[in-house]
Amino acid sequence: MEISELGEFGLIKHLTKDIKPVNKSTIKGVGDDCAVMQYAEGKRVLMTTDMLMEGVHFDLQYTPMKHLGYKSAIVNISDIIAMNGNPTQMVVSIAIGKRFKVEDLEDFYAGLQLACENYHVDLVGGDTTSSMTGLAISITCLGEAAPEDIVMRNGAKVNDLVCVSGDLGAAYMGLQLLEREKAVFNEQYREAKQKGQDIEPAQPDFSGREYLLERILKPQARQDIIQRLKEAGIRPTSMMDISDGLSSEMMHICEQSGVGCRLYEEKIPLDYQTAATAEEFNMNVTTCAMNGGEDYELLFTVPLTDNEVVSKIEDVKVIGYITAETEGKKLICRDGSEFDLKAQGWNPLKGNE
């Protein structure tokens, strides 16, 4: 069986279906944003890990090493925050090829350390080795939370409100800009080389699109939203961060909670630059917001009784509600038509066909 037949999450489910915890300290293992452990009274340990591969998760032709270091840390920090936890420590392992210099790794670690400083995380170790195929990054982040504060994906209840932070689709449109200009750059360079000309291709002009580039190259983990929810006295019933796309993440919450949902297209938050760039690329902006991924915003559910309070929280939008599982997982379009949600977001194990 080809790995691409299962996809990323299908492969994980297939490989881990028979794994059962044997230690009392393991509260939650495979299946959520983080593992949950308890080694001492009062706090539980959260752990998450991510691997980033050159050519799969990032392209060094347009990703500065400092930005890559920062984003690599944020990817993991965001998982801890998505469990309503506090990130505390991080270990980083990298495999590097001969083309990299000391200065490249200094830039990478500068970005990594900046993210750790911003989120008060201690970088406590890691490993380095050589690579014959490109740069590989593996990061494990630890965090902590009181047992009553931890929020998983499986707690959504019928009539809960579905909420998101920030705006969606910006990172995906930033990626489209970078990929387009990369293609133009490479074509100019190829033509110049064929003519024997020693010239540099024209540099792209991203004026007015800076926000989109920041979203893809230097995303932020929404620890501020967690704090605002706590100050408002709201504990989400389920939560996860949006790394693979709103549609995909909503389906995870519904499937693990045994519920359905109704999301409203008109309520999905969009930035002006996202909408304008989607139009420029002749793309449907709702599709970009639903399936783009890498926004690292928070998707969460809260009881209906919290409607008035959560609606007043800055940078949080109510976009739908939870239904019975038998009612399916639906997107309600502006014209009133309904469509089933589909997991069309990022899948690193999908074939190239």
Q: Of all residues in the chain, what percent carry a pLDDT higher than 70?
A: 91
Structure tokens at 329: 């997982």
Structure tokens at 309: 């309070």
Q: How confident is the model at residue 235 (pLDDT cuts 50, 70, 90)?
A: very high
Given a cut of 70, whether residue 50 has pLDDT beyond it is: yes
Taking the C-alpha atoms of residue 13 and residue 27, their distance in angstroms, rounded to an integer, is 18
Higher pLDDT, 303 or 351: 303
Q: Name the architecture of domain 3-145.
A: 2-Layer Sandwich (3.30)
Looking at residue 28, its pLDDT comes to 81
Looking at residue 37, its pLDDT comes to 77
Mean per-residue pLDDT for 152-161? Answer: 97
Mean per-residue pLDDT for 220-232? Answer: 98
Given a cut of 90, whether residue 190 has pLDDT beyond it is: no
- The class of domain 161-175+210-340 in CATH terms is alpha beta
Q: Of all residues in the chain, what percent carry a pLDDT higher than 90?
A: 68
Which segments of the chain belong to CATH 3.30.1330.10? 3-145
Taking the C-alpha atoms of residue 317 and residue 275, their distance in angstroms, rounded to an integer, is 18
Looking at residue 129, its pLDDT comes to 84
Given a cut of 90, whether residue 351 has pLDDT beyond it is: no
List of residues 6+ apart from 252 with CB closer than 8 A: 9, 153, 240
List of residues 6+ apart from 83 with CB closer than 8 A: 32, 33, 34, 36, 46, 143, 145, 150, 151, 152, 239
Q: What is the pLDDT of residues 60-82, one digit of tens each?
A: 999 999 999 999 999 999 999 99
Q: How confident is the model at residue 352 (pLDDT cuts 50, 70, 90)?
A: very low
Mean per-residue pLDDT for 154-178? Answer: 97
Q: How confident is the model at residue 4 (pLDDT cuts 50, 70, 90)?
A: low
Which segments of the chain belong to CATH 3.90.650.10? 161-175+210-340
Beta bridge partners of 129: 95
Region class of 159: left (phi > 0), else alpha (psi between -120 and 50), else beta: left
Q: What is the pLDDT of residues 176-188, one digit of tens each?
A: 999 999 998 888 7
Looking at residue 17, its pLDDT comes to 75
